[in-house]
């Protein structure tokens, strides 16, 4: 897989939500993945960050893995 990639912000909600469309240069036209990052503050000075990355081709999941759980939709 090539290391070049592009992404576009689809939605931003300050301090709460980021949604991006991602694609690697090696992916065929029309194939994009979606990244959703949410931020929660359950108590003062504690921030929980949830990151979901969906629609990554099976053969490229390992390249996108940052050590968390891998879920497919």
Give the CATH number of the domain where residue 57 resides: 3.30.530.20
> Does residue 69 have a pLDDT over 70?
no
Q: Tell me whether residue 70 is in a domain.
A: no
Q: State which residues form the domain around 23.
A: 5-64
> Does residue 42 have a pLDDT over 80?
yes
> Does residue 56 have a pLDDT over 70?
yes
pTM of the model: 0.72
Q: What is the percent of the chain where pLDDT is above 90?
A: 55
Identify the pLDDT of residue 24: 86
Number of folded domains that form the chain: 1
Q: Tell me whether residue 69 is in a domain.
A: no
Band of pLDDT at residue 2, cut at 50, 70 and 90: very low
Cβ–Cβ under 8 Å, residues 71 and 49: no
> Does residue 30 have a pLDDT over 50?
yes
Q: Tell me whether residue 72 is in a domain.
A: no
Instruction: Please list, residue by residue across 20-34, b when 16 or more beta carbons sit within 10 angstroms of its beta carbon and e when fewer do.
Output: bebbbeebeeeebbe
């Amino acid at each position: 897989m090539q290391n070049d990639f592009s992404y576009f912000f689809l939605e931003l909600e300050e301090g709460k939500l980021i949604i991006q469309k991602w694609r690697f240069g090696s992916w065929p036209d029309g194939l994009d993945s979606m990244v959703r990052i949410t931020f929660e503050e359950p108590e003062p000075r504690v921030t929980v960050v949830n990151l979901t990355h969906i629609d990554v081709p099976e053969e490229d999941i390992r390249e996108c893995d940052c050590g968390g759980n891998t879920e497919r939709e």
